[in-house]
Amino acid sequence: MRWLILAWLLVSRLAYAHQTSVKYVDVAIDGAAADVTLRLAPTDLADLSPAAVASWMSLSSFGEPCTSGPAAQHAEDKLVAITWHVTCARVPDAADFTKFFAIDQKHVAFVRVLPDEISAYVGASDPTMSLRDRPTLLAWVHGGIDHIVAWDGRDHISFVLALLLVVMLVRDPTGAWTIRPMLPTLRSTATVITAFTIAHSLSLISAALGWVHLPSRLVESLIAVSIAYTAAENIVRPDVQWRFFLTFGFGLVHGLGFASTLAVQLPPRDVIVPLLCFNVGVELGQLMIVLVALPLFFAVARRVGAETYRRRVMPVISGAIFIAGIVWVVKRAFLT
């Protein structure tokens, strides 16, 4: 389909000898910001400055105009590329080419939106275009799942894994380590996962609605601290009695992290249903991690025995999670 549109544009250019060349626009969206690249032939640039070219189009977010930064110019193959950065209050969702077509009604633009790979031809008859489809309720659920199981959710996955590593371990009356049967292990898992779920749901909803706000650097650093601490606690004392309360407290912090990701995606009004759907997706993603990791950890613990698992297997995995947590603490607190 894309090649058919390009072919049509080329034919149109031949048909109108006075028409300026086709313009190609890439809009790479990243949260509440975007990097825009507009490519045009050198002859179309004439004496125009990069800022003048950048003014041909504007982005908006739910009806609120976005702010464009300085524009830069560089050569790219046989074209000239004008690039600039745009910041918005929320995720940019529309582009307006009215000024672009005011110069010449025969102008044509082929727009590609990244990372969703949305491509569209924009003509003078309809100078605005949507940069994304309005998400359905199912899309909000899917977004919550993606936030957990995708690469961006690796810190939350690490925390859940740290919790699951010790749910099957218990001391018998003599002080020796044993492996709980499956049913008590499931009850122990349900206890800590429920604490985490309730806590991050409360803080996610509160923060997304604007009731609670903490600096992003602080929240992300505390999430990393929670991961490192829980992993270290696994190694030093895996049978602590306060794990439920500790998990609840750390869950509140993780919920604020979820909210920082979600905030720029939510519409300015009618946010309750999308918010709840996103939270359902988070829980489903978390459940997927539990369904994969818990049987694996339990099977390994039963296979090698409680003492070997406690002294060798679990500390190695927890140690790796601890190192990852420390790296994130340093990076988030001091390097970003």
pTM for the whole thing? 0.72
Query: What per-residue confidence (pLDDT) applies to 47?
Result: 80
Instruction: State the DSSP string of 35-83.
Output: EEEEEE-HHHHTT--HHHHHTT-EEEETTEEPEE---EEEEETTEEEEE
Contact assessment for residue 274 and residue 137, using Cβ atoms and an 8 Å cutoff:
yes
60: nearest Cα among 311, 295, 268? 268
How far, in Å, CA of 52 to CA of 190, rounded? 59
Residue 237 has pLDDT above 50, yes or no: yes
Would the pLDDT of 79 be above 90? no
132-160 pLDDT, tens digit per residue, is 776 788 888 988 898 888 777 899 999 99
For residue 17, pLDDT over 60 is answered with: no
| pLDDT tens digits, 283-300 | 999 999 999 999 999 999
- Of the pLDDT bands very low, low, confident and very high (cuts 50, 70, 90), residue 302 is very high
Report residue 108: phi and psi, to 5°. -135, 150
pLDDT at 22 over 80: no
DSSP SS3 for 13: helix
- The angle at the Cα of 214, spanning 213 to 219, to the nearest 5 degrees, equals 130
- Domain borders along the chain are 2-130, 137-335
